[in-house]
Structure 1
Amino acid sequence: MGQAASTLSYKGEKAKENGTFTKEGSLRIFNMPILWFLIFTGITLASLYTGNLPGGMIGSLLVMMVLGELFGWVGDRTPIVKTFLGGGAIIAIFGSAFMVYAGLLPEATVTSMTDFMKTGGFLNFYIAALITGSILGMNSKVLVKVGLRYFLPIFGAVAGAVIVAGIFGSLVGFTLKEAILVITMPIMGGGMGAGAVPMSQIYSEMMGNDPSYYISMLVPALALGNVFAIILASVLDIIGKKVPSLSGNGQLMKGFTYEKTKQKYNIEKMGVGLLAALTFFTVGTLLGSFLPLHPYAIMIILVAVAKISNIIPQNVVEGASQWYQFVASNWTFALLFGIGVAYTDLNTVLEALTLQYILTVFGVVLGAIIGAAILGKLVGFYPIEAAITAGLCMANMGGTGDVAVLSASKRMELMPFAQISSRLGGALILLLAGLIIPLL
């Protein structure tokens, strides 16, 4: 396949393609003319509500893809929602959760999708592709040029978020455990699919209760954190203009320039990438049977070590990256729709949205800014840019949040660093979550 694409701008390009006008002027959803998408939707709904939807993977994935993409398309074009609340991701999750809550989905379909997501392993399948491909696909030039110094402001953001959230939380009545595990960790954890979802699995395994119990508490924090991250990004842009010495105007450090790398998509490489993702996940599960760490955390460590040591052949690295991009491009909204059905309890979500909760979420984002700016300054970064990339891009809602934060701060050229924060920073939070649970 000869389509050239930048790994760093993939999500942005995907967002431009889906549901936008082509050169011929036809509106498209999920990379097809809207008329054809509506035909697929009509067939799906007819099968769903006449009781003729195929069981198992086919019927579940069909409903998840069609309705997930439809809800995602609406969310990405709804004012306020698309700007501050995470766009399509939030609508896909809460739209499907509302359908279950209101009885708009047949019980048999809800059961089938829940089984597909949980015992069927679709969630693990997605996460395996995401962890393997996103870490192996990191741009080596960025990692070499910036080096380990970038991880200091990331550490500062996490430390600042924990400290300020702990203070705010204690003032409004939360325990330290609640402030850190329920609010801080999901906000700093790299988004929905890479953060809150695997985090709920880790919490479930280490503390008991079903993952749905935790994800219903984690999702509100993630959404609110994204809102504050976007708002404060625009505030940082204003501060940078008022105090020029704090800002590099889109440049993280003096003398640094970045050139995007491109690659050609290849079907055979994607197959290799799929195999790599499944193998890394299996090794994580194998080692997790006798190591006191969650398989996700073990997998993250193994993939990171493989990337840093450069022991994986280049075609496997490219294949893993391309397979991850395929999965993220085509199944993210489907996964989020499934999360709403199988893991999200609207009653729990609504009960969590109190003034105390909102203030603590604000404390997390504020602490991330302060910590990243201070430690970023120590390693030679401009404080504003460090706060945006290592701070707000840790506290936002993953890939869509990165775009929103950088757009609000008028610093889209910082996307490579935003992705380091969302990918490796988010992976670090998953690892930390598994390590600190026994300590709290």
Structure 2
Amino acid sequence: MSDLARSATPAEHKPPGVPGRRERDSDGFPSDDRTPTLWHRCMDRDIGIVPLPVFVVLAALIAALAATGHITGELAVVIGIMVVFAFALAEIGKRVPVLRSVGGAAIFVTLVPSWLAHQGWIPKAAVESIGGFFTDTKVLSLFIAFVIVGSIMSMDRTVLVRGFARIFVPLLAGSVVALVVGTAVGTATGLGFKHTVFFVVVPIMAGGVGEGAIPLTIGYAGVLGAAQGELLARVLPAIFVGNLTAVLLAGLLSQVCRRRPDLTGNGRLDAGEGPDLLEAAESGPGERTSVTAQQVAAAGITAVTLYLAGVLAHSLLGWPAPVVMLVLAVILKVAHGVTPRLQYGSRFVYDFCLAAMAFPMLFTFSATQTPWETLVEGFSPAPLVTCVLTVCAMVGTGFLVARKVGLHPAETALVTATHSGMGGAGDIAILTAADRMRLMPFAQIATRIGGGITVTLALVAAHTFGL
């Protein structure tokens, strides 16, 4: 019987001997009074992905295991440690003034664990437990496969192809000018040519941490024979500073557009009179909302298959596995090789990885693989100046080139700015600062495809010319 039917049942139809009894629905709420109890309100409040009461109990259990010396490498223990620390730090980052507006959660989860481990504030047994799991299982490779392949295959093909064609010129011009300016500034300030290119300028344009910096440093580690964690620590400051600079420029651009409305399309990229690309995409058939377990499994195994193809290419030809995987995913998508069920499943896999796996992966990598001293060195004055001028050159070039290709200057500059953002979180921060969230599909192209191309070219150059 439905809730509506139960609420309409006359009092005389209630079972005898239970006067005034209030029936409850399947969730335990009274059918005629859906006001949740304090317990239900707490259970509906999450720390990351974990209900608040469950998080408190989980944190207490991890603390008890650490106090009694029972931290082991068992998978459940490892997951508990990663979840408690990662999502607690993310919640703090979301609430720090100013920082929360520029991707504070990701910044906190990526930087703070390295410092906590350096200070000894994370139990040594916990660091060893998650570090052993991280190294032995190579779970990071699986995470990257799901994120990269899922992100590409879940994109709307029309927006992917036509959108990239529309922003290709300003994106390319901005990237080239940023490379020239950033390299010149970094070399002039004493960073060195190769260091500036590979560890400052390229990371800014790599597409964030999970989809850019980590695959990039995996390739660097193969070239140098060095520890990936140390290499990641060297590129992270550039990513964070580049993202912050892009957010500030987006806010400034929004203020300029209020005084010069002729520079903006108010969220519309195309300066022509015809329908905008996004309007055409939005007028198409709606996206399916229900996803089956079969679709998710199919998408996941497809991602694993493409990654293994990359592993084989690396073993036989020496090509970086993440790059091969990315290229195969793009070819599959552009060639109509992705059916709707795979697209829906890929979207679920991608969203699940970002929601449930991204912060734990970043926490573990920071706590176990990233030296704090190397991170600190990356925030010295010379790299900071180089990062700021690199992003300014990129955004300014996009702004100036826009009208040459029939686009609005402000919107084009914003899409170009997302190429220097911190992945998806950076895209949100940049577009929110300018109140242009409608540009998110184009931002995703600049971040994912633009970042993937940057990583690919950088690794090819690293293999060819060395680091």
Is the TM-score greater than 0.5?
A: yes
- How far apart are residue 341 of structure 1 and its match? 1.3
Confirm or deny: 8 A CA contact 2:49 2:356 kept in the other structure.
no
In the alignment, the residues of structure 2 paired with residue 246 and residue 30 of structure 1 have an alpha-carbon distance, to the nearest angstrom, of 39
Which residue of 1 is the match for residue 145 of structure 2? 128
1:72 and 1:271 map into 2 onto residues whose CA distance is 29
Shift of 1:274: 1.3
Change in CA separation of 1:357 and 1:428 when aligned onto 2, cut-off 3 Å = same
2:454 is aligned to: 429
Residues 229-274 of structure 1: per-residue CA shift (max 9 Å, x gap): 1111111112223333322121111331435553323222111111
Say which of 227, 230, 238 aligns to 2:255.
238
Corresponding position of 1:185 = 202
The corresponding residue for 2:31 is: none
Which residue of structure 1 aligns with residue 445 of structure 2? 420
User: 1:109 matched to which residue of 2?
Assistant: 126
Gaps of 5+ in 1: 1-20
Q: Aligned-pair distance for 1:339?
A: 1.5
Provide the rounded CA distance (Å) in 2 between the counterparts of 1:411 and 1:42.
Answer: 42
Q: 1:98 to 1:317 in 2, by over 3 A?
A: same
Q: Compute the displacement of 1:144 (Å).
A: 4.6
AA paired with 1:66?
Answer: V
Distance 2:166 2:355 in 1: 31
Q: TM-score, normalised by structure 1?
A: 0.90
Could you say if the C-alpha distance between residues 433 and 144 of structure 1 is closer, same or farther in structure 2, counting changes exceeding 3 Å? closer
Q: How far off is 1:407 after superposition?
A: 0.9
Whether contact under 8 Å (2:72, 2:129) holds in the other structure is: no
Q: In 2, Cα distance between the equivalents of 1:241 and 1:171?
A: 37
Distance 1:116 1:380, change over 3 A: farther
SS at match of 1:100: helix
Instruction: Quote the RMSD (CA, aligned, Å).
Output: 2.1
Name the counterpart of 1:171. Answer: 188
The residue identity in structure 2 corresponding to 1:393 is T
For 1:215 and 1:146, the matched residues in 2 are separated by 31
Cα gap change, 1:111 to 1:171, in 2 (>3 Å): same
The answer (yes or no) to whether the contact 1:68–1:337 under 8 Å persists in 2 is yes
TM superposition shift of 1:163:
1.1
Distance 1:157 1:48, change over 3 A: farther
Residue segments in structure 2 that go unaligned for 5+ positions in a row: 1-37
Question: Scaled by the length of structure 2, what TM-score is found?
Answer: 0.85
Structure of higher RCO (CA pairs closer than 8 Å, 6+ residues apart): 1
State whether residues 183 and 361 of structure 1, in contact with CA within 8 Å, keep that contact through their aligned partners in structure 2.
Answer: yes
| TM-fit CA distance, 1:343 | 2.4
> Are 2:435 and 1:410 aligned?
yes
Q: Which moved more, 1:51-60 or 1:305-314?
A: 51-60
- 1:73 Cα deviation from its structure 2 partner: 1.2
How many Å separate the matches in 2 of 1:386 and 1:188?
A: 16
Asked if the contact 1:160–1:370 (Cα under 8 Å) also holds between the matched residues in 2, the reply is no
Select the residue among 95, 119, 123 that pairs with 1:77: 95
Instruction: Identify the residue that residue 17 of structure 1 maps to in structure 2.
Output: none
Deviation at 1:103, TM superposition (A): 1.1
Paired letter, 2:59: T
Mark the structure with the bigger radius of gyration: 2
| 8 Å contact kept, 1:164–1:366 | no
Distance 1:377 1:174, change over 3 A: farther
> Using the alignment, how far apart are the partners of 2:398 and 2:268 within structure 1?
16
Preserved contact between residue 29 and residue 73 of structure 1 (Cα < 8 Å):
yes
Number of corresponding residues: 418
Moved more, 48-57 or 288-297: 48-57
* Secondary structure at 2:226 match in 1: coil
Q: Does 1:298 align with 2:300?
A: no
1: CA distance between counterparts of 2:224 and 2:123? 32
Over 3 Å counting, the alpha-carbon distance change for 1:122 and 1:32 in structure 2 is closer
Of 28, 37, 41, which aligns to 2:55?
37
Distance (whole Å) between structure 2 residues aligned to residue 345 and residue 28 of structure 1: 31
Does the 8 Å CA contact 1:159/1:371 hold for their aligned counterparts?
A: no
Q: Which residue of 1 aligns with 2:155?
A: 138
Is the CA contact 1:217–1:349 (under 8 Å) kept in the aligned structure 2?
yes
CA–CA distance in structure 1, aligned partners of residues 160 and 111 of structure 2:
36
Give the aligned residue type for 1:299.
M
Which residue of 2 is the match for residue 118 of structure 1?
Answer: 135
AA aligned opposite 2:173: G
Match of 1:9 in 2: none
Indicate how the Cα distance of structure 1 residues 147 and 89 shifts in structure 2: closer, same or farther if over 3 A, else same.
closer
Residue aligning to 1:354: 380
Letter in 1 for 2:366: G
Q: 1:392 aligns with which of 396, 401, 417?
A: 417
- Kept after mapping to 2: 8 A contact 1:163/1:367: no
